[in-house]
Structure formats: structure tokens, C-alpha cells
Structure 1
């Protein structure tokens, strides 16, 4: 059955159930339809650019488990070492080191340089225990030298190793001497491994998943020398939607935000709203503002990638992300800023055409040496691309190897925007 027709039928049935007071049945009907859609996409042959569906609303626990990448698929990422810091066991050394390496810092439980480690993490306010994250420490990490840190949020049906493999962010981060943190969403929190970007309890600072993710970030910062002016967050699909939320709720923490195939912060507040936003974009009435206790600061600069042939998350969502950032800048309490749009057309090495829109602060100098400090947003519209990480590695899920190098462009944008440059 055509998905649009199926969605229309679903919304009608769910509406009738809600009107009759059968809220649980309405939710179950939506979840079952989504589960069927996921199975359909999994069984249909699709081009690499189309991807599968890494962003879904929650499905019943009895649904088929998400497809995790095999060890062979993740062969380009160093085997992870699990560290449980609640136990007195000494940490493992990096795999087959060729020469002695200095410790990243003097903390006895800091992961060593050149490692990609799965860490057991406990947090007093977390609803589920324990949680895990993967941390990449670059080979050049040395004691006392602050490093940039990139928080990477995977999409639905993915895990940190899969996401690291597909994006290639570890390899890109090594020359920049940057740490990369990959939180892992447990299936007890969402059966498809999605970040719950559409739930009100997970949309505000100091609570839910935003608080958990920031706690993981602070855990890394307590054990490694991190440059607090160069902390960034990026994500794909559901992870992109959560990255946008973190940027909105913690503008004093994140220097810049990257969203690939995601939605703007607060685009939905329930499953039905999530479905609507994914297919058509968020309704203006659905988007909420900062939490009452969030700092009154201008939003972090944002870079957005979105395929205009994305049938999972409509490309209008990418436009809304940019519009929300520019609108927030124009009304910022510390002085509104107007912007100028510059449009560039290009083509990736793999033959994918794109339109890149760069937004700079009006009246700023536009010389090559100063342009980066005036850019507040970039939008990359990937023509003919579906729901997949552009320029990603074929060994990871939901990637489009022929696309533009989203990882390199995102990291370039991040490093051009230390937080001090906009304070």
C-alpha cells in the first residue's frame, strides 16, 4: 500500500480512537504501522543514496530488532575496549601499540591516545542503568593540551560503532586532534534505538535525554583536557533532531551544531506530531521556545545537510532548521543580527550536485581571512539524495558514498567557530 495513503488511513483511525477515549489503542496503531513501514523499507532494494529509515517513532518492544552492523562491516574502526569505571579493574591498553604513548591526562581512568573505547556510564538521574558511550581519543592527545570535542548522535537502528564507521568522523578528527564522543541509545529507552526527540520530557535542559547527554559530555571533560570553547554536537536523523535540541537548550555549552537529515528543535511533542513533521515539516504552532531556565543567548552557528529526495524526513525540515536559527539571531536578547545569503552551486566527486547557501552577518567583512568568523549558518541541499549521510563510508549503514563530504565539511565548519568568536 502507498505510504501516503496508509498514513492518511492511519491518521483517520487514530483520530477516531482518540475521540472515543482509547488513547492506548491509538498509540499502538501508530506504532504498528510504523513498524510495518520499517520492515517494508528493510526488504525493498534501495540505492545507497536513499538509505533505509534511521529515524522512526517508537515501535512496540516485540518488533523485529534493528539491524546492527556486523564486525566485518565495522572493520575500519578499531575494536572497542569496554571500561567499567565502577569496578577497580585497571583500564586496557590500546591495541598493539608500536611505541609508548603519553597518557591523555593524569587521570587514572582516562582512555589512552589512539583508542576507541566503549565506556560504561552511570548517572544518578538517568531512568535506565547503566548507559554506554564510545569515546575516540586522537593519537596526538597529550597531557595538558586542550582538545576540541565533537558529540555525535546516531540515527535509529544504528549504534556508535556503525555510526563512526559510516561517517568516518574518527579519521577526520585525528588531524584536528579532536575527541569524538558517541552516546549509545539503549533499546530499553527506544526499541529502534532512536533518540526520543519528540517527547516533551526529552526536550528541555536539565531533564531527560538532553541532561543525560550533557552528563556524558561532562564525564569526558572531567577525565580529558577539553577546550571548552570548542565543544560541538552533530547528528543524523533522530540524532540530528536531538542535536538541534541540545543547541537550543545549552547555547552556553555548544559552539556550533551540525544536523544531517533531521528536524528543528521542538518540531513535535508526540508520535502523531512526529509523523506529520517527518512527512511535511513542522507546523509553526508545534515549535516551542527555550526552557524557562535556559540562558538568554544567541543560538550556536548551525550547518545543515539534507537530501531533496528524502522520503523519510522531508527536505522542508532542513529549511526550517535554518529559518529557526536566523529568526533566533534576529531577535537575540544581546542584540539582533540580520544576515546576508550567498548561494553556491557545485558537484561532489561522486557526481552529486548540491546547492550551498551561506549566511553571514550583514555588514561584516567578507575577505577570505575573515569570512569564517561572520558565518552563522550553512545549508547544503543535496540534489537527488535520500535519507543518508552524504559522502559516508559504505561499511556503515544509511550512507551515500557518492555525496559531498559531509563529515569533512561539518568538521571544517565546527573548527571555524570556536565559541569565543561569537560571545
Structure 2
């Protein structure tokens, strides 16, 4: 693990007598420096597969799409907004594509990692460029230093793991505000994040299954996997005794989830993606079909993509394990921080997954 993580733990212990919120603000959950070499995709022979032919076809199509697409650059800077409620206030950036003229469009809410700015996260993930190309709107809530010294979302604080409480209420409030101010298709509202932002995205998917249609977690952690600073540091290191039993997770509808994880991640142990997926299987049962294929980024990382499918519910989850990948957004832009362009294009694959999983929205009676 990076030394800064242990330094943060010592700082936290030094402040053990203070308020929980003050303790939380002293936690640093670092992520590794960016890697900035060009990449392209080359297919390699697939691994074993057991499932439907259409799933295998989908896997092949997805693997072919992992090269970063030639996309228009954002044509303007994101708009800056502020949302406030009884839990506080948060600045957020909003990217509206030039093609938007009031028509119904999807919304993706993006939660940055520790130390990042929303503008930096938008650049590093290339999500604004994708929004310009595909015609959806993107919102970037930003965590201020007053809430956490390292700008981490407080995913390990029980108050910030509950519906209409703390940070979840602020993120949901931002989501609703954008849905009100723009013609957002309520069946196509999604949320994703990196690291601490990925952990918070998992919380949001659990707390607001009525608001979001699907969740993307990149190098993150499972819902309520920690309830204190010390348990957060422990679960990040992959200690199973810190992971709460799945049986204690309150019952809630499970949204389709796509997860990316580097198997050489030294900040969030790769075991965490298994715990993330175990929440899905605990809620809906063992998948009927689990199908895997492998791919290779030319000059970069190999990866394994696995789809978990239930015959009645369809796709439950999709997991990407990037071999040799660390703690950074795969396929990202070298102009942003904490990106690794030697991996598959996580942004493109998340968008594909999201648009394939709209929510069923009940129409109001006439």
C-alpha cells in the first residue's frame, strides 16, 4: 500500500478523541500517479465460456470496442452550479452537449476520486468528449476540503451511507435538480465513480434504486463495506474480517452494475470487486450464466471481462479485471490525473453498459 495511507491512519489515531466528522476529514486515501502511454486494442484467444451464444457475441463486440474512439473534443466548458440542502452545499459541474435543444437525453452522474477536481475528472475520463459524441448530459458533484481534507467522498461514514442523509442526499439532490432543469429521460439516469467515488456510487445505487438505472464502480468498494476510518483502511487492504457479512446489507432492489478493477491495485485490494459482486448475488441469487472472455491492449494490459446473467432478470453485472493494472481510470486521457491509458476504455464500456440497461419507469395514469 502507498505510505500515505498509513500516515493517514496515524493521523486518524492521533485525532481519535475528536468528533467523528473531524476524524473523517483527516483521512487520505491516495491513488497512484497517472500512466501516459498510447494504446490500441488487439484481441487474443478467449478463455473458457459457459453461457448463451448471444452473450458470447456481446463479449466479442465489446472487446472490439475497447480502443479509445476518435471523438469530438468538448466544444465548451462545463457549466458551474451549486446545490444546497440541510446536509450542506456542493458545487457541481454540468456538461451539456452542443446537440442538446430540449430533447429527452440520458444523464450520467460522475463522482471523482480523492484529491481530484471535477474538471480534472471530466478530462481524465474523457466523459465530456463522450457526451458531445453521444448526446447525453454529465454532472460532476465535487467534494470540498471542508468535508474531507483530501476531497474523498466519505463512503466509510455511516451517516453518508443512508438515503436522504449526508452526502447521498446532496448527490441525489444534484441529480434531481438536473432532471428538473433539463429534459432528462428518467429511465436513463446513471451514476459512476472512481475509488472513493466508486464506493459512493455503490452507496447511491443501493440507497436510490428508484432514481438510478445502473451503476459503474471503478476501483471502488462495496456498499457499507466499512463504518469507520480504521475499518475503511482494513477493507481497502482486502482484510475479510473487516468486510461486513452480506446478510447485514438491508434488502433493496439491485441495479445492474459494471465494475473495473486492476489486479495489481495497491490502494484498493482486488478482493473488493468480489465483495461488490457478492452483494448482487446475495440479493438475486446465483447467476444462471457466467461467461468470460479475454482481450489485450496492444503494448498495454491484458484483461478479462465476465458477464453475470440471470435468465429472468437479464444481465446482473459485468466485471472487468485488468491484469497488471493499478489504481487509475483505464483508457483515460493523459491530460487528466490518475489515468492509465494502457487499459481498456472504461468510459466507452460504461456508456455501452448504461445505455443497454434503462430503467422501467411506470407511466402516470391518465
**Same fold? TM cut 0.5:** yes
Q: 1:404 aligns with which of 335, 341, 344?
A: 344
The corresponding residue for 1:415 is 355
Residues 353-372 of structure 1: pairs in structure 2 closer than 5 A: 353-362=302-311
The verdict on how the C-alpha distance between 1:162 and 1:29 changes in structure 2, with shifts beyond 3 A counting, is closer
Aligned residues: 325
Residues 124-273 of structure 1: pairs in structure 2 closer than 5 A: 124-127=85-88, 129=89, 131-143=90-102, 145-273=103-231
CA displacement at 1:329 relative to structure 2? 1.7
* 1:170-189 deviation per Cα after TM superposition (whole angstroms, max 9, x unaligned): 11122321110000111111
Per the alignment, in what secondary structure is the counterpart of residue 274 of structure 1?
helix
Higher relative contact order (CA 8 A, sep 6+): 2
More strand, by proportion: 2
CA-based RMSD of the aligned residues comes to 3.3
Per the alignment, in what secondary structure is the counterpart of residue 348 of structure 1?
strand
The corresponding residue for 1:93 is none
The corresponding residue for 1:285 is 244
CA displacement at 1:155 relative to structure 2? 0.3
Is contact 1:303-1:378 (8 Å) kept?
yes
In 2, the alpha carbon distance for the partners of 1:2 and 1:187 equals 21
The corresponding residue for 1:56 is none
Per the alignment, in what secondary structure is the counterpart of residue 246 of structure 1?
helix
Per the alignment, in what secondary structure is the counterpart of residue 23 of structure 1?
coil
CA displacement at 1:324 relative to structure 2? 1.1
In 2, the alpha carbon distance for the partners of 1:226 and 1:26 equals 37
CA displacement at 1:210 relative to structure 2? 0.4
In 2, the alpha carbon distance for the partners of 1:146 and 1:270 equals 41
Per the alignment, in what secondary structure is the counterpart of residue 376 of structure 1?
strand
CA displacement at 1:248 relative to structure 2? 0.5
In 2, the alpha carbon distance for the partners of 1:31 and 1:249 equals 23
CA displacement at 1:202 relative to structure 2? 0.4
Q: 2:17 aligns with which of 19, 23, 29?
A: 23
**TM-score, normalization: structure 1?**
0.69
